[in-house]
């Protein structure tokens, strides 16, 4: 299935909101209908991402500014090495977290959200769609209770309340807010429908492409 341009789809939400689950389902659905799809996540598995993860095991070992710049460095790598090349190849890119996480999380640590956005938009391509999965922090934390915890639960919960509020504040045509408490299959169906609708508008128009369009309708 040929597209006129690359397409960037982002999944966002607090810890345990279901981003990875939905990213996996979306990538599967796209590949099944023959859409050339790449998948990435932030923080990345690269050197900056690894540094971020190692620091995360010791809560508040970094100032908010240090955290901000590590995420910017990691994103700089991801944009240059992964996102831009994939978009240039006209792939559909599914991305688990992007600069809206920086606005929401580092914003919740007190950094101005407009400043964070400006720093990112100097180099990071704008996404076509941003799905924000919304769950109460108690629910998200409950789902990931088995994962190694970085700070006392009550502190994390209070912090994630602010992060959630920042996510809920995103407005504009690219943002789609979804209730993350539903069952994963229904959430996946809503995401898929929205993405397929977008892709139909980005497809090159030829007879085989029209058949591909029908495949998108059937899914
Ligand atoms: P995130 O990537 O946002 O941290 P995950 O997709 O890893 O979240 O999901 C965290 C946990 O919650 C996983 O065990 C996953 O199976 C489960 N989960 C994901 N989505 C849902 C959902 N809609 N309802 C119930 N459990 C879910
Ligand atoms: P991630 O590995 O995606 O964690 P999870 O699976 O719990 O969603 O991200 C690690 C942490 O990094 C997560 O708590 C969110 C945080 N983060 C930021 O604070 N700023 C950012 O810009 C990004 C991308 C992540």
- What gap in Å lies between CA 79 and CA 96, rounded to an integer? 13
pLDDT band at 1 (very low <50, low <70, confident <90, very high): confident
Q: Does ligand 1 come within 6 angstroms of the Cβ of 16? A: yes
In a domain, 204, yes or no: yes
186 Cβ contact partners less than 8 Å away, ≥ 6 residues apart: none
Q: Does ligand 1 come within 6 angstroms of the Cβ of 13? A: yes
Q: Does ligand 2 come within 6 angstroms of the Cβ of 156? A: no
Q: Is the peptide bond before 64 cis (omega within 30 degrees of 0)?
A: no
What backbone phi and psi angles, to 5 degrees, belong to 19? -60, -50
Over range 44-52, report the average pLDDT. Answer: 96
In which domain, by residue range, is 86 found? Answer: 7-218
Residue 214: CATH number of its domain:
3.40.50.300
Task: Kindly report whether the global pTM for this prediction surpasses the value 0.75.
Answer: yes
How many domains would you assign to the chain? Answer: 1
In a domain, 2, yes or no: no
How far is the centre of ligand 2, averaged over its atoms, from the C-alpha of 36 (Å)?
26
131-159 residues labelled b (16+ CB within 10 A) or e (exposed)? bbbbbbbeebbebeeeeeeeeeeeebeeb
Q: Does ligand 1 come within 6 angstroms of the Cβ of 78? A: no
Question: What pLDDT, on the 0 to 100 scale, is given for residue 47?
Answer: 97
Could you report the per-residue pLDDT of 76-126, keeping only the tens digit for each?
999 999 999 999 999 999 999 999 999 999 999 999 999 999 999 999 999
In a domain, 1, yes or no: no
């Amino acid at each position: 299935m040929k597209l006129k341009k690359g397409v960037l789809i982002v999944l966002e939400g607090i810890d345990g909101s279901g981003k990875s689950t939905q990213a996996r389902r979306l990538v599967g659905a796209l590949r099944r209908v023959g859409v050339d799809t790449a998948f990435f996540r932030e923080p990345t598995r690269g050197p900056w991402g690894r540094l971020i993860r190692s620091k995360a095991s010791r809560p508040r070992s970094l100032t908010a500014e240090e955290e901000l710049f590590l995420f910017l460095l990691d994103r700089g790598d991801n944009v240059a090495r992964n996102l831009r090349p994939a978009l240039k190849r006209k792939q559909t890119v599914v991305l688990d977290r992007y600069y809206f996480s920086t606005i929401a999380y580092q914003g919740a640590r007190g950094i101005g959200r407009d400043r964070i956005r400006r720093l990112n938009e100097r180099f990071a391509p704008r996404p076509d769609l941003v799905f924000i999965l919304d769950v109460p922090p108690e629910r998200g934390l409950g789902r990931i209770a088995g994962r190694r915890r970085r700070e006392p639960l009550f502190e994390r919960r209070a912090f994630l309340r602010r992060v959630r509020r920042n996510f809920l504040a995103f407005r504009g045509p690219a943002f789609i807010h979804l209730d993350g408490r539903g069952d994963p299959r229904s959430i996946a169906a809503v995401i898929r429908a929205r993405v397929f609708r977008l892709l139909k508008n980005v497809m090159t128009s030829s007879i085989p492409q029209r058949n591909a369009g029908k495949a998108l309708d059937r899914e």
